[in-house]
């Protein structure tokens, strides 16, 4: 979206029509976010960001770095600042074009925190207690089970609802948070009228849950203490190839997608998404070959796919001024769009307008 089209068809705006004109089909709105805690993994890329780039060609898209969410776990301040800038540059390197999509950093738009408070007051303790991510994180960070960690889904609901999106492209692990958001919409609209558009999760058929290379029963995660368990999208080709070579599989030799072969199923899914080949085709291509050949092939295909991202990232990081211009431009537009929803909500819940 360039500046001109954005102003005409801003996210959340209905297109104006002249009298007698048939209503034009509304361009759908997409929104998603990612935390800046560490360089994105192949899981983030395959499960989410890869689709974000494709969607911007057809829809009004808004993507942001969810830095406020990262505060739910204790962060080293200088590292978080650095990672947020890197995450922003990485999004652009992954093909999110700031002239086509709205791209910004969450904490630059205070409307998120403000709506989050109002939605927290409309979130039940019971529903928040059922969030599996809260239970997991509370167990992993037992020394810091803070209120933000608990109310995190209300902030995520605010992120989403401020922009009135139709679809939210995320990986499988965010499904429950999306359901929570949908429950808030139903509850809130039930009390106050039609305030929020009901968003739908857009979860890819393949690759919605990329698994750890060291423990295929666990999700691939950037917070995994074992770096061999995940591919960082900035890993050098030889590192990527080695990590795949060491990937945990099973004691068989046949490359085929079958129940109980979690390690091979994961590698086949990754390879299928990266090369566009079907699982059947992959089975045929590797018939009679062992796991060694297959792992080497997956490693080089992934390394090749990530090469341009790594190169663009390095280029963008050399021009911090340009990056700052992009996130400031994004924040300004995001503030303008989200302010409309926030004003409507404040009025509805009975806050005296200034
Ligand atoms: P985050 O930062 O954990 O992950 C970003 C996106 O990557 C997906 N993902 C995966 N997909 C497949 N396989 C994996 N192993 C894998 N790991 C991560 C996630 O599902 C996600 O789509 N709460 C969100 C950030 C957020 C957000 C939002 C998202 C904040 N506000 C509003 C959508 C809308 C999170 O922590 O994602």
Measured from the Cα of 207, ligand 1's closest atom is: 12
The answer, yes or no, to whether any atom of ligand 1 lies below 6 A from the CB of 224, is no
Q: Which of 193-197, 221-225, 245-249, 346-350 has the lowest mean pLDDT?
A: 221-225
Distance from C-alpha of 290 to C-alpha of 301, rounded to nearest angstrom = 17
DSSP H or E segment with residue 182? helix 175-192
Contacts of 330 (CB under 8 A, 6+ apart): 64, 98, 102, 103, 104, 105, 108
Q: How many residues does the chain have?
A: 354
Q: Which atom of ligand 1 is nearest to the CA of 35?
A: 2
Tokens matching residue 297 = 């092939």
Mean pLDDT of 245-249: 96
CA distances from 322 to 65, 108, 312, 327, 335 (A): 17, 17, 14, 9, 20
For the question of residue 100 being annotated catalytic, the response is no
For 251-266, what is the mean pLDDT? 94
CA distance 240 to 30: 31
Catalytic residue list contains 137: yes
Q: What pLDDT, on a 0 to 100 scale, did the predictor assign at position 6?
A: 39
200 Cα–ligand 1 center, Å: 15
Q: How confident is the model at residue 179 (pLDDT cuts 50, 70, 90)?
A: very high
Structure tokens at 343: 């004003």
Among 100, 137, 295, 333, the active-site one is: 137
Please give the DSSP secondary-structure letter assigned to residue 41. B
User: Which atom in ligand 1 lies closest to the alpha carbon of residue 177?
Assistant: 23
Provide, rounded to the nearest whole percent, the portion of the chain with pLDDT above 90: 90
The CB of 310 under 6 Å from ligand 1? The reply is no
- Helices 111-120 and 320-349: crossing angle in degrees, nearest 10, is 40
pLDDT exceeds 60 at position 183: yes
C-beta atoms surrounding 283 within 10 Å: 15
Hunting for tokens 């490693």 — which residue is that?
299
Q: What is the mean pLDDT of the chain?
A: 93
Nearest CA owner, ligand 1 atom 19:
171
- Cβ of residue 33 lying under 6 Å from some atom of ligand 1: yes
Q: How many CB atoms lie within 10 A of CB 180?
A: 21
Kindly report the backbone phi and psi dihedral angles of residue 70, in degrees, each rounded to the nearest multiple of 5, phi listed first: -65, -20
pLDDT digits (tens, 9 = 90+) for 48-73: 999 999 999 999 999 999 999 999 99
Q: 47 CB less than 6 Å from ligand 1?
A: yes
CA–CA separation, 325 vs 77, rounded Å? Answer: 22
The string over 2-27, giving b where at least 16 C-beta atoms fall within 10 Å of a residue's C-beta and e elsewhere, is eeeebeebbbbbeeeeeeeeeeeeeb
Tell how far the Cα of 43 is from the centroid of ligand 1, in angstroms. Answer: 9
Atom 37 of ligand 1, residue of closest alpha carbon? 34
Question: Which atom of ligand 1 sits closest to the CA of residue 37?
Answer: 2
User: By the 8 A CB rule, do 65 and 33 touch?
Assistant: yes
N-term to C-term CA, the chain: 33
Compute the average pLDDT of residues 131-147. 92
Q: Say whether pLDDT at 5 is over 50.
A: no
Which candidate in 17, 22, 82, 219 is catalytic?
Answer: 219
For 1, 88, 103, 146, 311, the CA distances from 325, given in Å and listed in that order, are 16, 12, 11, 34, 21
pLDDT band for position 3 (50/70/90)?
A: very low
Residue 24 has pLDDT above 50, yes or no: yes
pLDDT value at position 223?
A: 87
What H or E segment, with its residue span, contains residue 313?
helix 291-317
In the set 17, 28, 205, 222, the catalytic residue is 222
Task: Give the distance, in angstroms, between the CA of residue 246 and the centroid of all CA atoms in the same chain.
Answer: 27
What pLDDT was estimated at residue 198?
98
- Ligand 1 center to 289 CA (angstroms): 35
- Asked if pLDDT for residue 2 goes beyond 60, the answer is no
Q: How far, in Å, is the centroid of ligand 1 from the Cα of 245?
A: 27
Task: Convert the pLDDT of each residue in 293-349 to its tens digit.
Answer: 999 999 999 999 999 999 999 999 999 999 999 999 999 999 999 999 999 999 999
């Amino acid at each position: 979206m360039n500046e001109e089209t954005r102003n005409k068809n801003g996210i959340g705006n209905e297109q104006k029509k002249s009298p007698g004109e048939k209503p034009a089909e509304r361009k759908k709105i997409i929104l998603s976010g990612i935390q800046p805690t560490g360089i994105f993994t192949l899981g983030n890329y395959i499960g989410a960001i890869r689709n974000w780039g494709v969607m911007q060609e057809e829809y009004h898209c808004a993507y942001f770095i969810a830095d406020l969410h990262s505060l739910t776990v204790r962060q080293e301040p200088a590292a978080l600042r650095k990672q947020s800038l890197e995450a922003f540059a990485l999004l652009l390197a992954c093909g999110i074009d700031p002239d086509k999509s709205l791209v910004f950093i969450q904490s630059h738009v205070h409307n998120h925190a403000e709506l989050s408070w109002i939605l927290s007051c409309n979130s039940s303790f019971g529903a928040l207690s059922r969030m599996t991510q809260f239970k997991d994180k509370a167990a992993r960070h037992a020394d810091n089970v803070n209120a933000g960690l608990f109310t995190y889904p209300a902030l995520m609901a605010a992120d989403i609802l401020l922009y009135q999106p139709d679809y939210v492209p995320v990986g499988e692990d965010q499904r429950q948070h999306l359901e929570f958001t949908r429950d808030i919409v139903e509850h809130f609209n039930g009390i106050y009228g039609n305030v929020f558009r009901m968003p739908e999760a857009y979860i890819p058929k393949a690759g919605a849950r990329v698994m750890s290379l060291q423990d295929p029963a666990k999700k691939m995660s950037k917070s995994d203490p074992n770096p061999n368990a995940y591919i960082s999208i900035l890993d050098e080709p030889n590192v990527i190839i080695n990590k795949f070579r060491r990937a945990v599989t099973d004691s068989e030799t046949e490359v085929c997608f079958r129940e109980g072969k979690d390690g091979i199923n994961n590698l086949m899914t990754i390879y299928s998404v990266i090369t566009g080949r079907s699982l059947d085709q992959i089975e045929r291509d590797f018939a009679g070959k062992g796991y060694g050949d297959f792992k080497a092939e997956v490693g080089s295909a992934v390394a090749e796919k990530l090469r341009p991202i790594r190169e663009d990232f390095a280029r963008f990081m050399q021009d911090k001024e340009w990056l700052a211009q992009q996130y400031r431009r994004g924040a300004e537009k995001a503030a303008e769009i989200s302010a409309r929803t926030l004003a409507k909500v404040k009025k509805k819940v009975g806050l005296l307008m200034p």
